Amino acid sequence: MKKLLSIFLFTLLLISCKKETTTHTPDHFTETTVDTISNQEVEITVRDTVQLKIPQTLLTLIQNEFEGKKIEILHVAFGKLDNDSLEDAVAIIQDQTNEKPSESILVFKKNSTNYTLMAHNRSIITEEYFFTNAHTNSSKEIKIEQQQLKIDLYCYGPCGNTFLDFKVNNDDLVLDHFSTYDAGAGAQIEREYLVDTNLVKIKITNTMTEEMDVTEEEFPFTYSKGIRFIDLNTKDLFKELGSLESKIIL
């Protein structure tokens, strides 16, 4: 009788252990599934033909930022803006909701499980650089390298080429370097804004002479609206610079 009782208790113990193992298994698989979804990539089409893969979480954030609007993702780039090991992201979005489109640059900070919107600017890219039938000679490039966000705007007309570099400073994105290059009738004009020293250097090459005479000037300048990424307006910056240049150079 004691032998039968011992066998019965041993059997109950085995069943109990099996039930306990089964109870913990679903929790384990649920956690793995959630982690897989957070890292899932989706394929999108940019500039009508280019195929690009981006994380689903990033795409969702972009869509939420422009909820209810008709948008097109023109470009997305990844890289490290700070000292951690995670790749941050930058995107150019064209809002086509209204008759006159606008283009925004969004910068996203990557954390362990998701992205957060770090900065949003609607006035760095002006209509001269839009991908439209009216501006077929214009383009723009964005990239993150050497812990800097680099924005290159190209135009083979009167607007010229513009290059802006931003860096993270005290958890804020600020302008680190600004330069332009314009090749017009009779002259090439290069401009460089040294943000750290609040100086502007301008170089004018006279292409109407064989000697290609070069004139260089340097003058103090501080952009009135500040150098934060979210505040920068390229048209306004050009206007302030042009006003100073006309007084000093002409």
- Model pLDDT for residues 126-168, shown as the tens digit of each residue: 877 776 555 556 788 999 999 999 999 988 766 689 999 999 9
Phi, psi of 82, deg, nearest 5: -130, -165
The mean predicted confidence, pLDDT, of the chain is 80
- Cβ distance 130 to 122 under 8 Å? no
pTM here?
0.77
The sign of the CA dihedral 29, 33, 35, 36 is positive
CA–CA distances in Å: residue 153 to residues 81, 101, 217: 20, 17, 24
List, as one string, the DSSP characters of 91-102: EEEEE-SSSS-E
Kindly report which listed range (94-98, 112-116, 120-124, 184-188) carries the lowest average pLDDT score: 184-188
The pLDDT tens digits of the residues spanning 36-93 come to 345 688 888 776 667 888 899 999 999 999 999 999 998 999 999 998 889 999 999 9
Q: In terms of Cα–Cα distance, which of 242, 247, 250 is closest to 223?
A: 242
Structure confidence at residue 113 (pLDDT): 83
CA–CA distances in Å: residue 12 to residues 7, 16, 136: 9, 6, 78
Percent of the chain with pLDDT over 70: 78
Instruction: Give the Cα separation of 230 and 58 in Å (integer).
Output: 20
User: In DSSP terms, which residues pair with 219 in a beta bridge?
Assistant: 200
- Reduce the DSSP state of residue 120 to 3 states and report it: strand
Instruction: Tell me the domain boundaries of the chain.
Output: 41-249
60-68 long-range CB contacts below 8 Å, 24 or more apart?
Answer: 61/108, 61/115, 61/117, 62/91, 62/93, 62/106, 65/106, 65/117, 65/120, 66/93, 66/95
Residue 172 confidence class, pLDDT cut points 50, 70, 90: very high
